[in-house]
Amino acid sequence: MTHLVLGFLIALAVGLTGIGGGSFTVPALLLISGLPAAVAVGTTFVFAGVLRLIAAPFYLATKQVHGRYFRLLLQGAVPGLVLGMLALRMFAKGGNNSVVVILVGVLLTLSSGATFVRHMQFPQFAAKNSHWLPWLAFPIGLESGFSSAGAGALGTILLLNYSEMPPAQVVGTDVLFGLVLAAVGSVVHWSLGSISTHVLTQLLVGGVPGVILGCVLARKVPGNKLKTVVALIALCAGVQLVWTGVRTLGTKNVVHAAHATAGKAEKVRP
């Protein structure tokens, strides 16, 4: 039941704002389900991919996708995604990716906060400097491959504050952008077997109606209010990632300290 409700709420956020697929799901699966980091990321990739597959036609039908920016983002993000997944595979045996999660959380918190500071917004940046979009998307893909968070949140905030697009088109473009990254990630993780089908099924049962409702509501929300909602959700996602990363890192350090103490006691014992 917990995963059902969780799937609905996260999917509602994805349908409405394009944010939440990875930023909320991975921390929840780590904390609530106790899944290993690699399995939590793999399960989230498939879950987020299905949600965006359902949401994409809503935004395509209303022409809320900027084709040129979408292609430029993918040029940088896909290579980063592949490298990020390779890094996750290498570090999976180490237990978790807490430091990366914390860094992403801080970056997301600061970047979403820029939405509320007018002089930090440059709406004409993408139009005048579109050749920079692949380079800006590369770290988003890299981080998304490593932790499954960021494709929606960081991509949306980037376009929201540094492009001339209205909020609804930002969400639509990022939904399609996140869909491609999730599809690539899902295929890789499925082939590696790093997916919990039981948890995924429960998430989707709640998530499918949630994402449809979010897409329907997005059409009725005025542009300025949608921008505020997107920024607030991204801000919450950033704080959530920092808290999750710090908590997981703290737990890991306590366990290591306990093992070290036990090892010393074993050596002292006659």
Q: Which residues contact 105 (CB under 8 A, 6 or more apart)?
A: 237, 238, 239, 240, 241, 242, 243, 244, 245
- Residue 187: which of 195, 176, 198, 175 has the closest Cα? 195
Overall average pLDDT of the 137-162 stretch: 77
Measured distance CA(247)–CA(138) in Å, rounded:
28
Neighbours of 32 (CB within 10 A): 12
- What residue segments make up the domains of the chain, in order of their start? 2-258
Helix %, strand %, coil % of the chain (to 5) = 85, 0, 15
Q: What pTM value is reported for the model?
A: 0.73
What does the pLDDT read at residue 108?
67
Share of the chain above pLDDT 90, in %: 17
What does the pLDDT read at residue 27?
74
Q: Which of 106-110, 175-179, 259-263, 265-269 has the highest mean pLDDT?
A: 175-179
Cα dihedral value 152, 137, 91, 259, nearest 10: -60
Measured distance CA(31)–CA(160) in Å, rounded:
30
Q: Give the chain's length.
A: 270
Q: Are 234 and 112 in contact (CB under 8 A)?
A: yes
Mean pLDDT over each residue of the chain, to the nearest integer? 79
Structure tokens at 152: 């929606």
**Per-residue DSSP letter, 33:** I
Buried b (16+ CB within 10 A) or exposed e, 179-215: bbbbbbbbebbeeeebbbeebbebbbebbbebbbebb
pLDDT digits (tens, 9 = 90+) for 44-61: 888 988 999 999 998 899
Question: Does residue 265 carry a pLDDT above 70?
Answer: no
Measured distance CA(130)–CA(124) in Å, rounded:
10
Q: Which residues contact 2 (CB under 8 A, 6 or more apart)?
A: 32
Better-predicted residue by pLDDT, 167 or 154: 167
pLDDT digits (tens, 9 = 90+) for 7-33: 998 899 888 887 777 777 877 787 777
